[in-house]
Amino acid sequence: MDPNKIPKQFCENIAVAFSQEYFVMTMLTGEQGITYALTPQHMKRLQQYLAHQTGEYEKKFGEIDATWVPGIQSPIQTKDVLGGDKGETKK
C-alpha cells in the first residue's frame, strides 16, 4: 500500500468513549464519521505513538502552541450549513 495514494480528509473532531473491555473512537469529518473499536492495549499504544510523532514534529518544526479544552466545538456547525436548528436549508 502506498500512503501517498490513500484519499485524505481533514479530521474536524475526535470523540472517544470507553468501557472496561474497549475504547470506541470516532473521527468526524463534516457529517461523516468513522468509528474504531480498540482494546485498552491498542489505545495505549496509539497514545504512545501519537506522543512520539508529535515529539518528532516539534523537534523538526518547533513547539506546537495548542491547549486542549474538553467539549470544544468545530467552528463550522451543521446548523450553520443547514440554516439553523430546524435543519432548513438557507436560501
Grid cell at residue 54: 508529535
pLDDT tens column, 5-42: 988 888 888 889 999 999 999 998 888 889 999 999 99
- At residue 24, the pLDDT reads 95
- 38's CB contacts (< 8 A; 6+ apart) are 22, 23, 24, 25, 46
Task: Report CA-CA distances (Å) from 75 to 32, 33, 39, 63, 89.
Answer: 16, 17, 32, 24, 18
Is position 21 within any domain?
A: yes
Distance of CA 86 to the CA centre of its chain: 26
Within a domain: 3: no
Is 89 contained in some domain? Answer: no
Q: What is the pLDDT of residues 39-84, one digit of tens each?
A: 999 999 999 999 999 999 999 999 999 887 877 665 655 555 555 5
- Domain presence at residue 22: yes
For the whole model, what pTM was predicted? 0.67
Whether the CB-CB separation of 25 and 14 falls below 8 Å is answered with yes
Structural domain count of the chain: 1
Residue 46: domain span: 9-65+74-82
Identify whether 44 is part of a domain: yes
